[in-house]
C-alpha cells in the first residue's frame, strides 16, 4: 500500500541515553504545537507554500488526505513515533474520534508567503468513511501501524 503521491511517512531514529530515549529532531522554519480536540472531524484544507511534518506526541488521530477523488486514511499515534510529511497542494484534515485530545508537533517548512486561502476549510467533496477510520483506530490497540485507501 503506497501513500498519496508526495506524502511520506518514516519512523524516527532514536538513541538510548540512560533512561531517556532521544529522537531525531526535524529541520523546520517554524515549529507548532497542535491540539486536535477529542471527537473532532475536520473539513479539508490545503497549503500552497508549506510542507507539514507531523509527529504525534500524545494520543492519536487519523489524517485524511484527498488525491484523484479518493480519500486516504493514515493513523498516527504516540505509540508509533513516525513523521508524516504532507507537501504543498494536498488537501488534508484530521479526525480524532477518541475521547482524548491529541497533541502533535508540526515542523513546518516554508516555501514562500502563506496564501490567503491556506487555512480556510474546504467542504469535503463526499463524506468521509468513518467506518474505515474506526477500523484504523481499532488497530491502534493492537499496536499495528495502519494505512488505508479509498
Give the CATH number, domain containing residue 102.
2.60.120.10
Give CA separation, 59 vs 4, 26, 44, 78, 97, in Å.
24, 20, 21, 6, 11
pLDDT reading at 86 higher than 90: yes
Flag whether 3 is in a domain: no
Determine the average pLDDT of the residues in 14-30.
84
Q: Could you give the count of Cα atoms lying within 13 Å of 32 in the half-sphere of its Cβ?
A: 12
Residue 111 lies in a domain: yes
pLDDT top residue among 145 and 21? 21
Task: Report yes or no on 1 lying in a domain.
Answer: no
Number of domains the chain contains: 1
- Determine, yes or no, domain membership for 140: yes
Give the residue-averaged pLDDT of 57-64: 96
Task: Name the residue with higher pLDDT: 120 or 66.
Answer: 66
pLDDT at residue 105 greater than cutoff 50: yes
Average pLDDT taken over every residue of the chain: 87
Confidence of residue 106 (pLDDT cuts 50, 70, 90): very high
Range of the domain at 75: 8-149
Which residues are CB-contacts of 87 (< 8 A; sequence separation ≥ 6)?
Answer: 6, 7, 51
The confidence band for 14, taking pLDDT boundaries of 50, 70 and 90, is: confident
Q: Cα torsion for 70, 45, 4, 133, to the nearest 10°?
A: -60
User: Is the pLDDT assigned to residue 125 strictly greater than 50?
Assistant: yes
Mean pLDDT, range 25-44, rounded to an integer: 93
Task: Report the percent of the chain where pLDDT is more than 70.
Answer: 89
pLDDT over 50 at 145, yes or no: no
Is 2 part of a structural domain of the chain? no
Q: Would residue 99 count as lying in a domain?
A: yes
pLDDT band at 54 (very low <50, low <70, confident <90, very high): very high
Amino acid at each position: 500500500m503506497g501513500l498519496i503521491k508526495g506524502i511520506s511517512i518514516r519512523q524516527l531514529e532514536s538513541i538510548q541515553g540512560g533512561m531517556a530515549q532521544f529522537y531525531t529532531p526535524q529541520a523546520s522554519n517554524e515549529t507548532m504545537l497542535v491540539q486536535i480536540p477529542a471527537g473532532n472531524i475536520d473539513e479539508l484544507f490545503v497549503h500552497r507554500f508549506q510542507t507539514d511534518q507531523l509527529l504525534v506526541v500524545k494520543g492519536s488521530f487519523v489524517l485524511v488526505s484527498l488525491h484523484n477523488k479518493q480519500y486516504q486514511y493514515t493513523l498516527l499515534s504516540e505509540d508509533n513515533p513516525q513523521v508524516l510529511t504532507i507537501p504543498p497542494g494536498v488537501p488534508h484534515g484530521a479526525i480524532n474520534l477518541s475521547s482524548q485530545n491529541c497533541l502533535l508537533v508540526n515542523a513546518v517548512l516554508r516555501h514562500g508567503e502563506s496564501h490567503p486561502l491556506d487555512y480556510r476549510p474546504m467542504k469535503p467533496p463526499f463524506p468521509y468513511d468513518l467506518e474505515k477510520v474506526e477500523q484504523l483506530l481499532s488497530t491502534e490497540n493492537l499496536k499495528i501501524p495502519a494505512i488505508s485507501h479509498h
